[in-house]
Structure 1
Amino acid sequence: MSNQTNTTRTDDNWFFGHPKGLVTLFFTEMWERMSYYGMRALLVLYMTGAVTGFNPGLGWSQLEAQAIYGIYVGMVYFMVIPGGWLADNLLGHQKAVMLGAIIIMLGHFTLAIPIDQTFFLGLTLVVLGTGLLKGNISTIVGQLYKPGDVRRDAGYTIFYMSINIGSFLGFLICSWLGEKIGWHWGFGAAGIGMFFGVLQYFYFRRLLGSAGEKPNDMPEATRVKYLKWSRVSVVILAAVVALGLFGFINVDARLFAENFAVFLTVVGFSYFAYLFLFAGLDTGEKKNLFLLLILFIAAAAFWSGFDQSAGSLSIFARDYTDLSVGGYIIPIGWLQFANPFFVVVFAPIFAGIWTYLGRINLNPSYPLKFAIGLGFMALSFIVMIFAVQLAMEIAAPIGMQWLIITYLIQTWGELALSPVGLSAFSKYAPKNYVGQMFGLWFLASAIGGVLAGLLGGEALDKGLESISPVFEFMIQYYVVIAIALVVIAALGIAKSSDPAEKS
C-alpha cells in the first residue's frame, strides 16, 4: 500500500451507497473477467478437441490438457505476487492495472491468430497481464474506504458482482463463437472485451482520486536498482518463452504441474514465515497474519474444487450430458454461466445477511464463513457422484440439471468465502504489504488451480469409472478442513487484533 493520504470521503456514496471510484473498478474488472472466463471456458475443449473435422482442436489427452489448464490457472494467480510487488514499489496500483489490461488484451488477440504455434505465447501474455491487474485492482477497492468504514465488506461484494457479470458475458459470447464458429473467434471476442475494459479505465481513472496512485516511498537509488532487476527479469522471461515457442524446451505437462504445485505451496508458506520473522511486525499484526494464514490454506482447498468448472466438469458436460434445448444443442460453456447468474441473484442476499448479522453483533467469524464455503463445496461433489452413478447406470447422457444444481451449491460456497476473503486480506494486511498480501490471497487460487488440473486429469483418465473415487477424496478433505475451521472459530485460535471486530 502506498504511503499516501486517501482522499476518499466517508460521505462519498455516489455508486450504490459507495465511493464513486468503485464504478471505474467495477467495469474494468467486469471486462477483464469477461475476457478471462470466456477464453478459459474454451481452453480445455480446444486442447482436447479432435484435430480433424469441423472446428479442429489440438487433440491432446485429458491428462496433458488438464495439467496445462491447471498450470495456466496457477500461473495467472501466482504472477499476482510479483505484480503486487511492482505496484507497491515501482508503478503504483493504478498504473499497474492500466499496463496489465493492455497486456491481457494483446494476449487474447495473439490467441485469436489461427496458428497453433502462437498458443503458448498468447497464454503467457494473459498470465503476465493478469498478474499486474488482478491483485492490484482489488487493492484499490480497499483503499477507497477509510479504516473502520462499515461499507467495506458490502463494497467488496458489489465488486464481486462485476466479476460475475463479466464472466456471464464471457461464457455467453466467447463460448458460442468458439464452439459454433471457430475456437479462434472465441479467443478474439475475449480480446475485444478487454479492449473495452482498457478504454473504460483510461477515461474514468480520475474517479479513483489518490487511491493506489503512488508506490511506496523509497530512496531513488533503491528504486533504480529495482527497475534494473525488473528489466532483466523481463528479458529472461522473453528468452524462455521464445525457446519454448521454437521447440527448444519440451516439458512433461503433468510432471511440471506436480512440481509447480509443490513450488507454489513452499512459496506461500515461506513468505508467511518471512513476514512473521523478518518484516518487523508488532504483536497485533502477527496475530492478524496468523488469521490470514488459516484463511489461505482453506481458500486453496476451496479453489481446487471450484476450478473444476472449466476442467473436469466441462468435459463431463461435453461427453456425458444431454445439451439439447428444444432441439438446439447449446454450447458447453453456456452451462458455466449458471455460476455468475446465481452470484448476481444471491450476492445481494449474502451481503444483506452479513450486514444484518454485523449490526446485531452476530456476524460469523472469518474461519466460520470459510467452513460454510467448504461445506457447500463438499455437498456439490456429493451431487456429482450421484450424477456419475446415474450416467453409468443408463449408459447415456444425463440431464443438465445435475450440473446446474452443482454450480448453484458451489456458488453459495463461493459467496460465503471469496468476497469475505478479499475483505479480510484488505483489512488485516500489514502496513506497506497490502499489494503483496493480495498476492498471497491469489496464490491460494494458484495452488487450487494447479490442484484442480491434476485432480481433473485423474478423474477423467479412465472415463466415468475414475471420476467417483477422485470426487470422494475431494469431499473428504473439504469436510476435514471445514471441521478444523469450526474448531478454530469455537476456540478463538485465530482472532484479529481489532477488539471491535470478530475474526
Structure 2
Amino acid sequence: MNQAQAVASPSQLGANRWGHPRQLWMLLGVTVWFNFAFYGFRAFLAPYIAQHFYAGLGAAAAQRQADLLGSGFLALLYATPIVGGYVADKVLGETRALAMSFWLAVLALLLMASPTLFGFELGMALCALAIGLSIPLTVLIGRNYATDDARRDGGYTLYYLAINVGSFIAPIVCASWIGRHYGYRWGFVAAAAGMALSAIWFQWRKHKLDPVLPKGDHLHGPMASVWVLLGVAVLVYPTALLLGYPEVLRGAMYVLMGLLVLYFVVSCVRRRDRVQTQRYLALLVLFVGLVVFWALSLQGVTSLNFLARDYVDAPWDFSWFQSANPLFILIFAPFLAMLWPWLERRGRDPSTPRKFGIGILLVALSYGVLVYAIDHLQGADGHIGWWTLVLCYLLQTLGELALSPIGYALVGQLAAPEESSLAMGGWFFGVAIAYQLAGWIATLTTHASATGASGGIVEYARVYGHVFVWGLGVAVVFLLAAPLVRKLMHGVH
C-alpha cells in the first residue's frame, strides 16, 4: 500500500474518544464484524466441503479433497491483496476500495451457501477477489495518527484485539450454534450477516475519514468503480476454475513467489547497497521461518479440525476448538506485551530471529503433545481427551505471539523505503504459501491402507510425529543462527 503520510488537520487528529482518535473506534467495530465473517466460515469450512460435496468418495478421499480445496481457497485470500493493494492505491482510493470489498464479500458468502459445488466455488472465487480489496483497513488504522503520535502502537494493539474478539465469537455463533443446529450452509449466511454489518457501518461513516486520507485519494473518477467491478466479474469464473485444480493453483503461487524473490534480487544488484542487500537476505530467512510456522499452525483449519471432529472427546461441538486460539490471544497478549519491554530493560529481550525460533519451537512442541496423547492417553474408544487439543492450541498461540506481531513491523524496517509496500505484500503472500503447504501436510493424515480404509488416528500420530521432528529441527537452526541473522539486519532489533 501507498505509505505516503495523510494530510490531516490537528483538530481532526485531536478529536479523541477514550484516549484515541474518534474514527478509530468505528474502524475497530468494522474489524470485529469483518473477522467474525472470515473466522465464522473458516471454523467449519473443510469438514463442510468433505461432507457436502465429496462424501461419495469415501471418508479419506473426501477429507483429502476438502483439505486441498479449502487450503487453496484460503491461500488465495492472502495472495490477492498484492493486486488489491495496487487497485486501492492507484484506481479506487482506500475508502472506496474497502467499501467495495465489504459489499462484494457479502454477496460471495451468500453464494458459498449454494447447494452445488460449482456455485460454492464461484462464491469462493468472488470472496478471494473481494478480500483482496480489503487491505486498506490495516492502513486506515494508522492514518488516524500523526507520524510522531505515541498512541499509534496502542491503536494497532486495539486493532489486534478487535480481530481476535471477532474470531473468538464467530465459531461459536456460525458453527456451533447456527451451523450445528440449522445446517452449516446457514453458517455462511450468518457470516454474510456479520460482513453486512461491517459494510453498512463503514458505508455510513467512511466520509469521516476524508481528512486523514492521502493526497490524491479523491482524484479517482466515478468510472473507476465500474471498471473494477467489470474486472472482478471477468475474473470470477477463471478463478473458480483455478480452485478446482489445486495442483495448478499451488504451482502458480510458487511461480509468483519466485518472481517476487527474483524482483528483489535484481533490485539488490541494481542498487549495489551492501547493507540493504544483507537486510533483504535476513528478511528472506525470516520469511522462511514465517512460512514454516504458519504451515504447521494452520493445521487448525484442516487436519486438526477433522481430528477434533472424529477423535477428541469433548462436551461441546468440535468447532468450539476454533475459538481457543483467539481466546488465548486475548488472555496472554497483554502479558507478553509487558514481558518484552521488561526483558529489554534488563538486557535480555530475545532478538527477532530468536523469537522466530521460539515461535517455531512452541508450535513443534504442540504436535509433540498430540503424539504423546495418541500413543499413551488414548481411551478405549480410540479417542483422546479434549484438554490435549486445548494444550496444543495454547502452545501454538504462545508461539504466534512470539513471532507474528513483530513480523509486520520488521518488514517496514528491513525493506527499502521505496519497496516497503511490495515487501509487505510479499510477507502476506508468505501466509498464502503456508496455507498451501498446510493443505498438503493435512492430506498426509488421510493415507489409506491396502483395503482402502483410512488409517484413523494412527495416521495423525504418524504425520504429527514428523511435523514435531522437522519443526524442532527448524527451530534449532533458527536459534543457533540468530546471531548471524541479526548481524545481517544491521542494527534492526
The TM-score with structure 1 as length reference comes to 0.84
**8 A Cα contact 1:375 1:479, kept in partner:** yes
CA pair 206-123 structure 1, distance change in 2 beyond 3 A: same
Letter in 1 for 2:138: S
Counterpart residue number, 2:475: 482
1:401 aligns with 2:401: no
Deviations 1:335-363 (A, max 9, x none): 11011111111111122223444556654
Distance 2:57 2:110 in 1: 18
1:272 aligns with 2:264: yes
Counterpart residue number, 1:105: 106
Letter in 2 for 1:183: Y
Counterpart residue number, 1:335: 321
**8 A Cα contact 2:179 2:185, kept in partner:** yes
Distance 1:215 1:159 in 2: 26
Q: What is the RMSD of the two structures over their aligned residues, measured on CA atoms?
A: 3.6
Letter in 2 for 1:48: A
1:379 aligns with 2:365: yes
Report the CA distance between 1:374 and its aligned residue: 1.1
**8 A Cα contact 1:153 1:420, kept in partner:** no
Letter in 2 for 1:137: L
Structure having greater relative contact order (Cα 8 Å, sep ≥ 6):
1
Distance 1:490 1:39 in 2: 41
Q: 2:375 aligns with which of 384, 389, 395?
A: 389
* Identical amino acids, percent of aligned pairs: 29
Report the CA distance between 1:125 and its aligned residue: 1.5
* Gaps in structure 1 of 5+ consecutive residues: 325-329
CA pair 227-182 structure 1, distance change in 2 beyond 3 A: closer
Distance 2:87 2:418 in 1: 13
**8 A Cα contact 1:304 1:452, kept in partner:** yes
Deviations 1:200-223 (A, max 9, x none): 2223435545555456899x9xx9
Letter in 2 for 1:158: L
Q: 1:353 aligns with which of 336, 339, 349?
A: 339
Counterpart residue number, 2:458: 465
SS of match in other structure, 2:295: helix
**8 A Cα contact 1:51 1:58, kept in partner:** no
Higher mean C-alpha deviation, range 288-297 or range 172-181 = 288-297
Aligned residues: 481
Counterpart residue number, 2:43: 41
Report the CA distance between 1:231 and its aligned residue: 7.7
Deviations 1:38-87 (A, max 9, x none): 1011211111226799xx99986121110111101111101111112222
1:314 aligns with 2:315: no
SS of match in other structure, 1:394: coil
**8 A Cα contact 1:79 1:130, kept in partner:** yes
Report the CA distance between 1:417 and its aligned residue: 1.5
Distance 2:183 2:381 in 1: 30
Letter in 1 for 2:164: N
Superposition map of 1:225-304 within 5 A: 234=232, 236-241=234-239, 244=241, 251-253=244-246, 255-256=247-248, 258-260=250-252, 262-277=254-269, 286=277, 288-304=279-295
Distance 1:295 1:7 in 2: 35
Deviations 1:284-327 (A, max 9, x none): 65554444333322111111112111210110011101132xxx
Counterpart residue number, 2:172: 172
SS of match in other structure, 2:87: helix
Counterpart residue number, 1:27: 29
**8 A Cα contact 1:156 1:419, kept in partner:** no
**8 A Cα contact 1:48 1:57, kept in partner:** no
* Gaps in structure 2 of 5+ consecutive residues: 448-454
